[in-house]
Structure 1
């Protein structure tokens, strides 16, 4: 009989490892703590460890620079710009942070923008829509990283180990297939043991997840690479003062806008950061996402070459000259940014991948729609799988 460490007759605290400290990992840890703090399981709240290869948590990435003269910041949300909450469950989950003001709805004015080209002298800007409370887009304030850090700080039974790369599960254990009913020992990339765990949950992007689970006899290995993921380049621009902004970004332009969808460009969207809620004290900051298709085609190109191409496209869109050129320029490459969603009728419902005998789970937003609400939905499924698989006597 397969042994489940969450058996209520087991007096030891179940140990759970989560690989990846993005939002899927943070949501999973949060929901696990909540699930096992209720009812008859409150004495068996799992001991959870999150292993994160970087120095911070959360997919809601923020980059900023401080101006030495004014002491003010340029700030760019260079990862996810916003998220939606379409299900009642996720709306209920985010409610406390909406009440505190850490999360806020962003009622942006949205336009379609066709950059200047051989046919038109300056960019053509046409109203598209205004985001509203009914189908709200939410941001985290004062930075997009603030929510992830708040989630991490509120965890009570979870340890987060930063700058820790977990090695592929089979790398240091040739007999792993014989240990289906025992705990899993994880190692870092130097070969040092990270400890034994009853459950291992991998929340990395699917390309990395496939590498982590390779040769481990993971039951659903072939399904990890089924979803296609595309890259995204982000360009970050800053100006020293509102007065030197190019006309396309000024308040004088009609229609006024906060978000632009690009037409006939390698760029996809432009976001004006300093016009977002609770961002009034920022220096003029603009974040630009290249199209996923173009980014994927150039994913292995030299980053400086890519930045130069993005900058030329941005200049065509925003029409600056030497006097209105940005004083701050930066870029970032996301190798795994967007999930290609298959809307075919025969597609299976989005779901995590579970190997019950090993007690391993592969999860992530890429298992579903590739957005932040998907992070929450996959975290829900993970907690249900672990909680329901415990043996009830």
Structure 2
């Protein structure tokens, strides 16, 4: 990091609120703790609070069901399926969890799949590539949520507040804040005070950030809506055993595959969960992501209607009959799933939005390239902005 000697006489412990307990929030808290603990002995250790509206941390979502007869699980990574690590700093960051096996490379066999239609009787499957360790795709084991929970467990100066919705920042009174020598008082959606904070870091999707920052005087407000975010529907399918899988998913099909990219379909990709590393004990489980453009067009449709359309498209792609139909069916709507970067390069990505007067930072993967490595890069930028002001030279 490049450090600038700003406010070097401030030796009080900074109180930092992080809105959102997804990976950006967890990375930010982790890097903040490391930066301050590795600094000068006089550098104050931050007092960090993460406010998360749901019951758990990390957006690497996992859903599972248990078979009452066998006790085995169907399991679906219905959020991000994997992530890459293209920069040296992020590779260094994830190295400890690779050593323990919590993170593992996924060397999947990838195919292109064209579903059956009027002109072809069965789906056409053609080899595309095999993911390898040169530019690895990584997964968290045994669940995609496992890494987020481990990150949270390892935090030493951070308090987690679950089921807490932070109200729009316009509610706080800046004149009172200045009198008590604090920057911002946060409130929950019932109007109860959550405390005063020197820094507020918001890591929510930009659609939610707009609401949080309305009428707040946030200096970078106009930039919040520059990145466009699209929805994604996820379809989760399960079978009772390998023998009941449709032929397109069986080991007999050639080429064998783990991931399929679809064409001529409202579906985008199919992932075979039980073939991932450290997933051998799962019952047959398939996760399907719909096309983002189609998902965005149907984002407000009834979820049951959408599920029916996705199921029809999946049957067209995987060609099951009555005997090989899935026994488990579920779906999920992600309203803010994919960031449209508009062909920006990494250098052009906007980065965090920093209001220095209020000491508010808006962050998140959507501030970068919309992936998990962007969560880390935005966390780096946030920590640099805060540490530069509070460090003691």
Aligned 8 A contact 1:19 1:203 in 2: yes
Aligned 8 A contact 1:36 1:42 in 2: no
Cα separation, 2, equivalents of 1:222 and 1:41: 39
User: Which deviations, in whole Å up to 9, do the C-alpha atoms of 1:276-302 show, x marking residues without a partner?
Assistant: 000000000000000000000000000
User: Which deviations, in whole Å up to 9, do the C-alpha atoms of 1:259-281 show, x marking residues without a partner?
Assistant: 00001000000000000000000
Cα separation, 2, equivalents of 1:320 and 1:296: 28
The DSSP-based 3-state class of the residue aligned with 2:309 is helix
| Residue correspondence of structure 1 range 189-208 to structure 2 within 5 A | 189-208=189-208
The answer for the alignment partner of 1:44 in structure 2 is 44
The answer for the alignment partner of 1:132 in structure 2 is 132
| Residue correspondence of structure 1 range 57-206 to structure 2 within 5 A | 57-173=57-173, 182-206=182-206
Aligned 8 A contact 2:172 2:185 in 1: no
The DSSP-based 3-state class of the residue aligned with 1:264 is coil
Matched, 1:263 2:257: no
Cα separation, 2, equivalents of 1:380 and 1:162: 24
Cα separation, 2, equivalents of 1:63 and 1:260: 21
Aligned 8 A contact 1:24 1:365 in 2: yes
Please list every run of at least 4 consecutive aligned residues from structure 1 whose deviation after the TM superposition is greater than 2 angstroms.
Answer: 6-12, 171-182, 344-350, 389-393
TM-fit CA distance, 1:198: 0.3
The normalised TM-score by structure 2 is: 0.95
Cα separation, 1, equivalents of 2:276 and 2:86: 21
Cα separation, 2, equivalents of 1:158 and 1:346: 30
TM-fit CA distance, 1:9: 3.3
Cα separation, 1, equivalents of 2:159 and 2:182: 22
When residues 69 and 178 of structure 1 are mapped into structure 2, their CA distance, relative to the original with a 3 A threshold, is same
The DSSP-based 3-state class of the residue aligned with 1:204 is coil
TM-fit CA distance, 1:13: 1.5
TM-fit CA distance, 1:8: 4.8
The answer for the alignment partner of 2:293 in structure 1 is 293
TM-fit CA distance, 1:172: 4.8
Aligned length: 388
Aligned 8 A contact 2:229 2:336 in 1: yes
Cα separation, 1, equivalents of 2:42 and 2:78: 39
The normalised TM-score by structure 1 is: 0.95
